[in-house]
Amino acid sequence: LAKTTQPISMDSYEGQEVNITCSHNNIATNDYITWYQQFPSQGPRFIIQGYKTKVTNEVASLFIPADRKSSTLSLPRVSLSDTAVYYCLVGDSDSGGGADGLTFGKGTHLIIQP
């Protein structure tokens, strides 16, 4: 599975747009990019998944350049409740999982201030 690199922590303010970038230089042709969100003492929650270009849902957008060696999770107009750890995962199935399980790094600790 491709290794991912993302910032350890980020700070922002309520109402701002937050962009978290993940590097995955060794991404394979069949790999998808998936982002999870985790609050303290809770299980991770699926946010968004993409293969190339741009994906948008009601929660976030995911931008993937043509070379797919990085991706950016964009959270529009964040609130205090968006304070959480965000994980970028890359894997060779629809959700980077399957029989090998999901491979999580340490994630990005996003702190939103008033």
Partner 1 sequence: ETGVTQSPTHLIKTRGQQVTLRCSSQSGHNTVSWYQQALGQGPQFIFQYYREEENGRGNFPPRFSGLQFPNYSSELNVNALELDDSALYLCASSLTGLGETQYFGPGTRLLVL
Q: How far is the CB of 88 from partner 1 (least distance, A)?
A: 10
Sequence-distant (6+) residues with CB within 8 A of 99 are none
Q: How far is the CB of 52 from partner 1 (least distance, A)?
A: 17
Q: How far is the CB of 59 from partner 1 (least distance, A)?
A: 14
Nearer to partner 1, 45 or 77 (CB): 45
Sequence-distant (6+) residues with CB within 8 A of 98 are 91, 92
Distance CA(53)–CA(55), nearest Å, equals 7
Nearer to partner 1, 30 or 67 (CB): 30
| Residues found near partner 1 in the complex (CB under 8 A) | 41-46, 49, 87, 91, 93-107
Q: How far is the CB of 106 from partner 1 (least distance, A)?
A: 6
Nearer to partner 1, 63 or 104 (CB): 104
Distance CA(103)–CA(11), nearest Å, equals 25
